[in-house]
Structure 1
Amino acid sequence: MTKTMEKIIAGKVIAIVRGISEKNILPTVQALKDGGVTCIEVTFSMSSAGKSAETVHSIRKIKEHFGDEITLGAGTVLTPEAVALAKEAGATYIISPNIDEAVIKETKRLGLVSIPGAVTPSEVYQAYCWGADIVKLFPAASLGLGYVKAVLGPLDGIPVAAVGGIDATNYQAFLNAGCVGVGIGGNLVNQRLIEAGDFHGITKLALEYGLK
């Protein structure tokens, strides 16, 4: 198991950072870190090339400021080209909402941890066969805890993370069901608090997960 995989599994919670402005990116990550959340996913936006460039810049900025104190990944990675950009900026794992053979194989070729997104048992198994290290079940809360348990039953040798609709009230149930981790977006990385400059509020949300 790679050091990045060990850190992701030990960290349990990956904070999904989406659409945070450049001036707020470092204070947001610091607030999450102060609350015990040290795995951070910065997502790409497919809306424009400019938005993608902002993501790369944010990843680089976090890496330069925090170094190995943060286990840093890129999210919504849909192309092999985006994998390469994310690695160059400092990402050590790649998360996608879908399974794509080319993306998974490029991720592994570059020595990064691969976490593609799947819904069905067939997709979970296919992603694992292509080289995925962890498979993201998405949207986990919408699918339901019962569904996640049912998928994990016959596929218990494949590391699975739950993403989508996860918060402080239900994340432990998904871990108890056998997930190796969870990804949490707006329920943790609250845009309203960040835009108001209430980074202490972000730390309080992070502390609810009991990681510190």
Structure 2
Amino acid sequence: MRKEKILNILLEEKIISIVRLKNGDLAPKVIDNLVKGGIKVLEITSNTPNFDIQITAARKKHPDILIGAGTVTTPELAQIAIKAGAQFLVTPNTNRAIVNETIKASIPVVMGAFTPTETANAISYGADIIKLFPAGQMGISYYKSLKAPFSGIKFFAVGGIDLDNTEAWLDAGIDGLGLGSSLVQSEINTTEELNDIIIKAQQFKKLTN
């Protein structure tokens, strides 16, 4: 899939589900339930055990779903994720070397930035989307202030996004949202918790349609 198409899907779907698990063996079932709930874009974080193996397996099982890698903090992790088949990368930090890896692989990067300087740097490096992180600490008013001088740039808000504030963020003009523990808890112990993922995914999808 071409980079432009991946970017279009990211922006059309507006949701990236963050799969960060203490038990990596649960990833296939979690991803199955996210898909059942209507999620079409997700990232498997690098601090999920065997994240690269899970990316490869998820790509094979769900060819119609965008599977990316998250918490990519170094170019070495970027290389591992790309080799595993990640279709996009998400970082918490601003790093030129990671952008360079995605340029070589012709895939998008959603690059973490918090300040105006970090945002400007990420843009100059070639980041495709700016991940405002952590978004919840400063909130929508901070996003609006940051967006003003970067009006042509696409922003996703990550950190502190839940069912209660999703509509407010979208109404404020955010281009997309990264959903972490509000959708998938890092520690899942029961079948009920797994099934809750389907219900929550459907609720988030309804808010973004």
Do structure 1's residue 166 and structure 2's residue 176 form an aligned pair? no
Do structure 1's residue 24 and structure 2's residue 29 form an aligned pair? no
- The answer on whether the counterparts of 1:152 and 1:178 sit within 8 Å (CA) in structure 2 is no
Do structure 1's residue 56 and structure 2's residue 57 form an aligned pair? no
Distance 1:200 1:80 in 2: 35
| Secondary structure in 1 matching 2:191 | coil
Do structure 1's residue 72 and structure 2's residue 74 form an aligned pair? no
Do structure 1's residue 9 and structure 2's residue 11 form an aligned pair? yes
| Secondary structure in 2 matching 1:183 | strand
Distance 2:78 2:59 in 1: 16
Q: Paired residue for 2:117?
A: 122
Q: Paired residue for 1:102?
A: 97
Q: Unaligned 5+ residue runs, structure 1?
A: 46-50
Identity, % of aligned pairs? 34
TM-score normalised by structure 1 residue count:
0.90
What's the offset of the Cα at 1:33? Answer: 1.2
What's the offset of the Cα at 1:176? Answer: 2.0
Task: Give matches, 1:170-189, under 5 Å.
Answer: 170-189=165-184
TM-score normalised by structure 2 residue count:
0.92
- The answer on whether the counterparts of 2:24 and 2:51 sit within 8 Å (CA) in structure 1 is no
Matched residue type, 1:129:
S
What's the offset of the Cα at 1:99? Answer: 0.2
Q: How many residues align?
A: 204
Cα deviation digits, residues 173-199 of structure 1 (max 9, x gap): 22222221000111100345x320233
Do structure 1's residue 148 and structure 2's residue 160 form an aligned pair? no
- The answer on whether the counterparts of 1:95 and 1:116 sit within 8 Å (CA) in structure 2 is yes
Match of 2:85 among 79, 86, 90: 90
Shift in alpha-carbon separation, 1:106–1:191, aligned structure 2, 3 A: closer
Match of 1:195 among 186, 189, 194: 189
- The answer on whether the counterparts of 2:17 and 2:179 sit within 8 Å (CA) in structure 1 is yes
Q: Paired residue for 1:34?
A: 36
Q: Paired residue for 1:111?
A: 106
What's the offset of the Cα at 1:20? Answer: 4.9
| Secondary structure in 1 matching 2:131 | strand
Distance 1:87 1:185 in 2: 22
Distance 1:173 1:105 in 2: 34
How big is the alpha-carbon RMSD for the aligned residues of Structure 1 and Structure 2?
1.6
Distance 2:186 2:94 in 1: 28
Distance 1:120 1:191 in 2: 28
